[in-house]
Structure 1
Amino acid sequence: MDVGRAKVSDGDGGAAEAHALGVHGLVYIGYILLYSRFIWDWRPRVRQ
């Protein structure tokens, strides 16, 4: 029983870490998309 509980707690910890990484990943991707979007919006204006 104790071993089972330890495995469950480790699994929960891993899920929490994975969730945190996923959130940071989404934020990072969001910044990249916004940055690239500003670049693509800015280039045509410079050419004109």
Structure 2
Amino acid sequence: MYTWQNPVTITTSPNDEIKPNYAKCPICQILLPKANLFIHQIRC
């Protein structure tokens, strides 16, 4: 049985700053993929 990996957990690197599909959470300033930002803000 496979364990489900949390898609919000990502490894951050300086290159993430220039990716257009990433955005910072306005609440905690963590850089996240835009696809996960909405879900993160609910939990943040």
Whether TM-score is above 0.5 comes out as no
Q: Higher relative contact order at CA 8 Å, sep ≥6: structure 1 or structure 2?
A: 2
Instruction: Name the structure with the higher strand share.
Output: 2
Highest Rg: 1 or 2? 1
